Every structure is written in structure tokens, then in C-alpha cells.
Structure 1
Amino acid sequence: MAQRVLVTRPEPGATRTARRLEALGFEPVLLPLSETQPLPVARESVPTDATAIAVTSANALRHAPSGLIERLSRLPCHAVGARTAESARQAGFVSVNEGPGDAASLADMMSIELGKATVVYLCGRVRMPEFERRLGVNGMRVVPIETYDTVALNPAPSFVHQKLGGQPIDAVLVYSARAAAAFGSLMQMQAEADFLMRDATCFCLSGRIAAAMIDGLRVEVAPDPNEDALLALLGDPD
């Protein structure tokens, strides 16, 4: 019998991950514990001296207003990895540079290539400061433009019951600290969820996310902060 893997990330990423899990032989169970919501953005927020764009999340592009993308699309876009780069091309950016897959390495690459430039950073309201800090240390002016927010979800017991189907969960994929906190609340507040998931191993995308998990759970951390490394931790599906 295939391992049942709970996917806590928001849509549309949850469905994309489910397809990957199915292809690997696992049984995905979708229970997003956070969601992304667009934020209002004024076109005038773009600095006139901007020479490049940085993106570390495809959600920043998905929620960006069309007018903002139109204004920025002629500037070179530096994307964190392959999927975000493809999202940038689909959004309409003419020149897209694909990064090495993590924000810190992207910052180092941009610092070498661009020098003391002014960079527009399309991002979420909830984000780690390391990317901006790293660029700033290297002399860049970073102008963040927040296009979306990430909020935790508190699914009703009836919804959780329907999703879990009365069967135990073998593994849980956790992609953000918000989802980690929401998962902890779920386990503490809903007896059925605790019973069906107490023996699951929680695979977290980073150490920061793992630190947000409640005590008493089995937790493993991906060696690199990307989904390929996270899914590799699952091992054999049977």
C-alpha cells in the first residue's frame, strides 16, 4: 500500500506537488494550511532608476497586477530557479535570468553581475530578510514591492475529516513557518487529526520551518530548500 503524504502548501502549488507525488507512487492528500492573497500595488511604486528585477517566489508574479508587470517587463528579471523563471517568461518578461535555486545564491550572483544597481524585488509580505540583506551588504539598493500576503488557514473538523478519510497519514510536507504553526494548532485542537497524524514524519523545507513545529513530532529537514530535496526524503513509496 502506497504511503499517504499530506500536502500542506497553498494552491496552485498543492496540486502541482500532488501530481509529482502520484508519479513517484505516493498517495497525496491535499490539506492546504495557508493561502496567498493579492495585495494592492501602485504602478508608481517602481523607482525610476531601477535597472533589474528580482523574484524569489512564483506567487509574487502570479499576484502582480498586469500594469505593474507591463511597466517592469523590459528590465532583466533575475529569478531564483527554473520554475520561477518560467513563470516570469509567462508573465511577459522579455529577458529572464535563471538562478541557482536558492535566494542566497541568487543574491550573490546578482551582486557579481550587477554591482551597485537599484533592484526591484517582487515579493510577499511574509518573507525572510536574508535575500535583501545580502544584496544590501554588497552595495545594492533593494526596493521591495509586495504583491501578495500569506495567511494561515484553520480548516473545520468536518473538512479535515473528509480529507483524511479516516486513514492514517504517513508523511507531512511542510513548506512554510505559517503552515507549520497551523499544523501544530490542527493537531492540538482536533482529536481526529492528532490520532491519524501523530505517527507521521513531518518533512520541512528548512530548519526555520522545522523550528516552528510543535514538540513531540518526528521532523526531518530537507538538505536544500527546494522541493526536489524535500521529496527525496520520502524514500520508497511502499
Structure 2
Amino acid sequence: MKLKFLLLTVCLLTAGLMQSQAQQFRALVFSKTAGFRHQSIPDGVVALKKLGQTHVFSVHTTEDANYFKDENLEKFDVIILMSTTGTIFNEEQKAAFQKFVRSGKGVVGIHSATDTEYDWPWYNQLIGAYFLAHPKQQTLRLEVVDSNHPATWHLPKNWLWTDELYEFRNINPNIKVLLNADESTYQVAKGNGANHPMAWYHEFDGGRVFYTALGHVESAYEDPDFLKHLYGGIWYAATGEPMK
């Protein structure tokens, strides 16, 4: 019996090690809110877990900002900010987040990640812009500006989409725009004009960042094109591939 127990233990440990080694990368999904809380957050978290299963990367979820410590964050390759809002980090947590980025890791922002940390200039430059306003939910034409990125490889030049359509302020001029909103195809709130980015990426402070303004509505997290868009951005931020 002891021998059988020992063999079973060794097999389980070996299987666990092999499963861990098989993961492409490790993602931390953080969905804390201190302002408006989106009803689609649970749908988004479930979708990210499914993406992890489909594309063989590990997903850990939390809404506890105390988890932002060096010894915890160093386990991950990418942090995914799932519709965070408001002021969600204290000074120690900010320092750990900055160290994570500066170590060459990745950050993904989804929808209201731009409605977060308005008093932290470093975060504004990292995420790429701050939320300004949005009109009612509508359908619009999204123009694929750059089809050479894994977040947009699969998309048509003109993508018809329905969502809550963010407008922005304090846009980092160094972001590389992937999707642009055609304001002539819907009713704006205040508007950003001809240059209205809706998804972008850039390198910042040693790390890689991808942001998409899409994802307010629950149905987005069941849409194959949006999920490919999201996974392409996660893959880029986590690995840097194939953008070299």
C-alpha cells in the first residue's frame, strides 16, 4: 500500500509539473472597481478563463489589490485589467505594478481600464488615455488601421460593431492605433474627431501594453471576432510575439 501511495504521489506531482511547464504564459486578471461596476465583468472573467483553456495559458483572478506585491506579480507574464474603475491602488501597490512593467512584462486593458487611476500620470501614459465620455450604445464602423498585429489579423478593413463607445482625453501620442472609430457612422457624445482610437498597443517603460475600448456589453464575450481580438492583444502583451 505504501509503495502504491508513493507511486501515485509521484505521478500526480509529475503530471502537475508537466501541466505547469506546458502553459504558454501566466496571466493575472484583476477586476477591482472603485467607481462604476460593469455588469459584464463576470462574463469577461469567464471568457478569459475559457481563452486560457483554449490557448493553453494559466489564468489567476483576483479583485484584491493587496495581491499586488513583488513576490506575487513576478509569477506572471501579463496583467489583464478587466474593466477596472476608480482609484484602486495604494502607493505600495503602485510601486509593485511599476516594477512588474519595468521588468519587461505585459499589461492588457479592457474597456474601463481607461476609467481608472485619474491621479496617477504614469498610469495614464501606460494605459494610453483617460475616459472622457460615451453616448448611448450604438452600432458603428470600426476601421482597422493596422492589420499586422495579432489583435487585428483576422478582422475585415471595415468592422461593424455594437457597444458602448468610449471617447478619450489625455491620449498618449506614442500609442500605435489598431482600430479607429468612424464618427460619421454614429451619434457621438463629445467626439474625438477623425482620429478616434478604439484599440491600440505600445511599448512603455520597459513593458508591452495592449488596450481595447470594446467589451462593455455582455454579448461581446461570446463574439468570436472580439475574443480573437482580445486574445491577440493578450498574446502580444504576454510574449512580445510576433512584434519584433
Q: TM-score, normalised by structure 1?
A: 0.34
